[in-house]
Amino acid sequence: MAKSSNLEDLRQELADDRSLPLRGANLVFGEGDPSAKVLFVGEAPGFHEDQQQRPFVGRSGKLLDKMLEDIGWKRENVYITNVVKRRPPENRDPLPEEIAAYTPYLERQISIIDPKIIVTLGRFAMSHISPQGKISRDQGKVFWWKERIFMPMYHPAAALRSTSVLEDLKKSFQKLPKIIKKYDELKKEHLNDVGAPEEEKNQEALF
Ligand code: URA
């Protein structure tokens, strides 16, 4: 309950923040279970998301729903949001200053929800957590980030354009239930590894 009222307070603060860019568009804050174990972070809302003020409800969203369904999960049991919470005009890529302006709100959303796993969809969302990351190299791998599991995945829009990307995205989703099941064990191993060199600790592909 506290999480949902904290999220509502944050949503209100975001809505009232006149310093933010893209204020001509609707606010798409995010939705799902405030106590979700898994948080999905996309790039920015598109046309349909702006219209409905809900994340991932267009073609990419339908694919995301299908991927969740295929692993036996329901959309309402995870939490879905974006780095940038308003639609950039003509769906252009978000600008660095737009990403920078909305990032503190994403950070606060993450700390309220406190998920075990953060899944980033596409390179923009990935670069928030892993600025040096490369989506083609890192997608589908499992990393630790601030004591959470971080898993970069391809963006569903890219999977709609390429069958090989779609296959990779499916494989990434298949890993999620296994990670949840093994989470406590993985965390223990990770904590035991705390003295290990940085590159081993963070860059390990767990599956
Ligand atoms: N693409 C995104 O990155 N986010 C959405 O909410 C919809 C499409």
Distance (angstroms) between ligand 1 centre and the Cα of 192 equals 37
Q: Vertex 51, ends 124 and 45: CA angle to 5°?
A: 5
Distance (angstroms) between ligand 1 centre and the Cα of 90 equals 13
**Torsion 29-75-59-154 (CA) sign:** positive
Which pLDDT value is given to residue 123? 96
Pocket, ligand 1, Cβ cutoff 6 A: 42-46, 49, 55-56, 58, 60-61, 82
Q: Give the strand order in the sheet containing 38-42.
A: 31-32, 79-82, 38-42, 117-121, 148-153, 143-145
Residue 184, both tokens: 């406590």
DSSP per-residue letters across 87-100: PPGGGPPPPHHHHH
> What CA–CA distance (Å, rounded) separates 43 from 125?
5
pTM of the predicted model over 0.85: yes
The CATH code belonging to domain 2-202 is 3.40.470.10
> What CA–CA distance (Å, rounded) separates 42 from 122?
7
Average pLDDT across each block of 10 residues of the chain; the chain has 207 residues. List them in order. Answer: 95 98 98 98 98 98 98 98 98 96 98 98 94 96 94 98 98 98 94 64 52
CB 59 within 8 A of CB 49: no
Strand partners, 41: 81, 120
Report which DSSP code applies to 26: P
Which pLDDT value is given to residue 12? 98
Residue 138, both tokens: 């890192």
Distance (angstroms) between ligand 1 centre and the Cα of 43 equals 6
CA 43 to ligand 1: nearest atom: 3
Task: Give, for 118, the enclosing helix (H) or strand (E).
Answer: strand 117-121
Distance (angstroms) between ligand 1 centre and the Cα of 181 equals 28
Which pLDDT value is given to residue 121? 98
Which pLDDT value is given to residue 196? 57
Neighbours of 38 (CB within 10 A): 23
> What CA–CA distance (Å, rounded) separates 102 from 86?
9
Q: Largest alpha-carbon pair distance within the chain?
A: 49
Relative to beta strand 143-145, strand 148-153 is antiparallel
pLDDT digits (tens, 9 = 90+) for 119-175: 999 999 999 899 999 999 999 999 999 989 999 999 999 999 999 999 999 999 999
Which pLDDT value is given to residue 198? 52
Which residue's structure tokens are 């310093």? 19
Instruction: Compute the chain's Rg from CA coordinates.
Output: 17
Which pLDDT value is given to residue 192? 86
